[in-house]
Amino acid sequence: MPTADQSPLILVDGSSYLFRAYHVPYLQALSTADGQPTGAITGVLNMIRSLKKDYPNGNVVVVFDAKGKTFRNDMYAEYKANRPPMPDDLRSQIAPIHDIIAAMGLPLLVVEGVEADDVIGTLSHQATALGIETVISTGDKDMAQLVNPHVRLINTMTNVEMDEAAVIEKFGVRPDQIIDYLALVGDKVDNIPGVDKCGPKTAVKWLAKYPSLQEVMAHANEVKGKVGENLRSALAHLPLSYELATIKLDVELEQSVTELKPATADTETLRALYKKYELRRLLADLDKNSDSDEQDADAQDTAGQQNSPEVVAEYDIIRDQASFNTWLEKLNAAKLFAFDTETTSLDYMQAKLVGLSFCVEVGKAAYVPLAHDYADAPEQLDLDWVLAALKPLLESDSVLKVGQNLKYDANVLSHYGIAMQGIAFDTMLESYCLNSVATRHNMDALAEKYLGYKTVHFEDIAGKGAKQLTFNQIDIEKAGHYAAEDADITLRLHQAIYPQLAKIPSQLSVYNDIEIPLLPVLARMEQNGVLIDCDMLAQQSQTIATRLSELEIEAHNIAGKSFNLSSPKQLQVILFEELEIPVIKKTPKGAPSTAEEVLQELALDYPLPKVILENRGLSKLKSTYTDKLPLLVQPKTNRVHTSYHQAVTATGRLSSTDPNLQNIPIRSEEGRKIRLAFIAPPEHKIVAIDYSQIELRIMAHLSDDPGLVKAFSEGKDVHKATAAEIFAVPLDEVTSDQRRSAKAVNFGLIYGMSAFGLAKQLHVPRHTAQAYMDKYFERYPNVAKYMDDTRQQASDDGYVETLFGRRLYLPDIKAKNAMRKKAAERAAINAPMQGTAADIIKKAMLDVDAWIQQQNDDRIKMTMQVHDELIFEIHQDIVEETTAAIVEIMNNTVTMSVPLIAEAGVGDNWEQAH
DNA sequence: CGGGAGACGTA
DNA sequence: GTACGTCTCCCGC
């Protein structure tokens, strides 16, 4: 039985047929006895009927233009200005058509502000992304721009089908050149200006010589004769014509393509409507077929419940060349397939490939075991042979892949000489962009949330703990089911999540324009790794160890007994019970706190806290950094390779683990020394470039506060400027203490602070902190307004957004618990700033990486990202010009109402580079 | 052996 | 006051 996913999508351009049917002479004559014209109704309905006959499996969706102006009128007031208003006898037929289509149970879309073309473009674009075949039924030649291997046109009135080859035959240009063609030729009816005297022949001639409108325009001077002059004088308006001729692919729709499913026909309403409009043939059909029609509708409805976990799965385990070749052909023919690797380790640097799984069509997946090596493991296909056969496919840009965390698979495959391309979709990132906090984004959680399906867990087949097997030790049958299911589930998840994402253009663009392109960039950075001076760290560990034992003896002496300095619980007893030191603060669970700030304060009056503080700081440094980092050096590369996690944080930041390179010490003197061990290879320099005050600049931009914008635009020291405002003193009389307070206020604002929090931070009374804040909001009123608006938006919509439309949902914003609600409000204030900063540096990474790729010079490597900072290794011979170029790219990544400033440091190690 | 608590490293 | 990851201790399985 064919699954729902195979049924083609039939998009009907209702408006195009409406006009054409209206002008057909024999239809014009039709009307009801009381004079209501019905020719257009009949024409459109006949056409839908014939489509349903030609595509019995088809999922028919009908789209009409909405009344009123569209965005094209905003772009160009003259758009369609020559069109006469719609005749009344046509207008009166629209509502009946809509009613009848609705009663038939067909999805009907009428979207204001755009044309039917744009809705169709968007739906066909979504369908292509999901691997769904699409047929667009239209009489409009402009739609030829939408044709691709999976989208074709059918003119139902002439019965002419048009695929890519047919477009080339009819127009003489490829589908992707149709917009260029239309812009050059222009359109009298729609009032789109082209090039005078340039008709189809000339446009084709030009586009054969130069591949795009842009190129034609670039070479306008080479075109001779009168038409050449016309081309040159059209240069100014051609971009507009191009825009007007471009069908939108990202219209915001209430329902995504997979949600548009037929409902059961409302036979009674349909009968009444057919009677009313005297559509005798349709009425006769309805009575004749009423039973079977309803059955059809039911059958379609059931099939429409996609992603049902009940669908019988066919999982192949491929161990012979013939079956493999059959699958290879399937993959080659597919526009999109899901893909997963099975390996021996979660660590992409250590992982050895054990098998591969694929899925082209939901419910049908294959596992290719390659390196199962338990006793009695059956013979498997040769790993090198399989990889060689798959290499062209995996490296093809035009065969699209979907996976779950493909960065991992790409990293593993890179060690087998395969540079994956065509990474088009990643379900982990889809879920993350849709809602970063609704769920974790691992496959098990996604399958449960989006498919209601419990997957086989790795632990179910491998066991857990020290006895856990690695994948190569697992029985091929068990492993095959698990692995094939992973590929199958991945495709199902994609079909479930992507359409939801596609409904919101800004979220789709965060996915398509930031996260997906960032994936290979992060993979490259991870592969690059960073160079560590292990000897230096070992020496530091030695020094710290000596000091730690001194401190331990000292602490035991003061306490009068031996205890574990790193046990907060034992320390509590010593400090607050035995030494009877007063309790300053309690932990959330109610125990007396021994946190740093408490010990700092106690250190003024007692000797032990000071010793503990130094001990804690040093033991953290030793265990987390000086001892640990050398253990993480990969023998293969002699470098440390972190993992950047792209789907972890609520706000859009990256995170880093194994090791976390984003919390290497910098604040304390001893801590900073660890950065001395982050070194450059011979003849290279470490270059660190960070965005100065990026979050405050974003606050200035988002709030559009004149005072704050001015301070940044004039390149002032913004904390000093803030101090001058708060304390009402001239700029050059601001004391360092005032500047420090102002800085705390600025940071506090980014964190959604209260006067209480500020008071604690600054060690001033609450009313003093309140006075600072009042004064601040008085001097920067738009900041106050922005904060209020943000809180309001969070409360109204349940989410806040970054400048680029990345959303953070805040379910707690409606919490009954006041603490949680307040916390959600602070997160709401912080997220747009932290998140926009994350978006910006991600975009900068894309730009910088693209530039580095273009240089094609392996003396330039991007190695780390630390939220507002990028770190590079650059050869000493080119360090100056390369650094300048990267700074320039980072400064111009986005344009805001305040300048974005990147500052570079160069050195032999990370410490020097600061 | 797993996981919570408490502490502390970063932006 | 925001956002993270990792360490140790220590309880309970």
CATH number for position A669:
3.30.70.370
Q: Are A198 and A226 in contact (CB under 8 A)?
A: no
d(C-alpha A728, C-alpha A776), whole Å = 11
Give the CA distances from residue A192 to residues A15, A82, A184, A196, A868, in Å, rounded to whole numbers and listed in that order.
19, 10, 10, 12, 46
Residue bearing the bigger pLDDT, A52 or A486: A486
Cα gap A809→A434, rounded to integer Å: 10
The pair of structure tokens assigned to A473 is 């030790």
Q: Which nucleotides of C are covered by protein (CB under 7 A)?
A: 1-11
Express each pLDDT in A216-249 by its tens digit. 999 988 888 888 889 998 898 899 999 999 999 9
pLDDT at residue number A22: 83
pLDDT higher than 70, residue A735? yes
Q: Which helix (H) or strand (E) holds A865?
A: strand A860-865
pLDDT value of position A312: 64
Range of the domain at A730: 724-779
Asked whether residue A219 is domain-assigned, the answer is: no
Q: Is A775 a domain residue?
A: yes
End-to-end CA distance of chain A: 64
Specify which residue's alpha carbon is closest to the C1' of nucleotide B7.
A595
Q: What is the mean pLDDT of residues A435-444?
A: 96
Decide if A12 is inside a domain: yes
pLDDT tops 80 at residue A4: no
**Cis peptide bond prior to A659, omega within 30° of 0:** yes
**pLDDT tens readout for residues A499-520:** 999 999 999 999 999 999 999 9
Rounded to an integer, the average pLDDT of A822-847 is 97
Instruction: Tell me: do A737 and A684 sit in the same domain.
Output: no
- In tens, the pLDDT along A339-370 reads 999 999 999 999 999 999 999 999 999 999 99
For the cut 80, the answer to whether the pLDDT of residue A193 exceeds it is yes
Shortest CA to C1' contact from A468: nucleotide: B1
Q: What is the DSSP letter of A474?
A: S
User: Can you give the distance from the CA of residue A569 to the C1' of nucleotide B4 in angstroms?
Assistant: 14
Distance, angstroms, CA A623 to C1' C6?
Answer: 9
Q: Does residue A456 sit in helix, strand or coil?
A: coil
Q: Does A161 share its domain with A119? A: yes
Q: How many domains does chain A have?
A: 5
Do A757 and A794 fall within a single domain? no
Residue with tokens 């006793």: A375
Distance A854 CA to B9 C1' (A): 36
Say whether both A793 and A911 belong to one domain.
yes
Q: What pLDDT score was predicted for residue A770?
A: 95
Asked whether residue A671's C-beta has any atom of DNA/RNA strand B within 7 A, the reply is yes
**Last residue of some domain: A738, A759, A779?**
A779
Question: pTM value?
Answer: 0.84
Confidence of residue A789 (pLDDT cuts 50, 70, 90): very high
A573 CA to C8 C1' distance (Å) = 17
Separation of CA A655 and C1' C4 in angstroms?
7
Antiparallel, parallel or unpaired: β A9-13 and A902-907: unpaired
Q: What is the pLDDT of residue A296?
A: 42
Are residues A417 and A340 both part of a single domain? yes
Q: pLDDT per residue over A711-734, tens digit each?
A: 999 999 999 999 999 999 999 999
Spacing of A611 CA from C9 C1' in Å: 19
Q: What is the pLDDT of residue A305?
A: 38
Does A267 map to a domain?
A: yes
Q: Are residues A320 and A449 in the same domain?
A: yes
**Mean pLDDT, chain A, whole residue set:** 92
Same domain, A443 and A388: yes
Which pLDDT tens digit goes with each residue over A294-343? 444 333 333 333 444 445 689 999 999 999 999 999 999 888 999 999 99
Q: What is the pLDDT of residues A277-292, one digit of tens each?
A: 998 888 888 887 654 4
A831 touches strand B (CB under 7 A): no
User: What's the pLDDT score for residue A419?
Assistant: 98
User: Can you name the residues that pair with A530 across neighbouring β-strands?
Assistant: A640
Instruction: Determine, yes or no, domain membership for A181.
Output: no
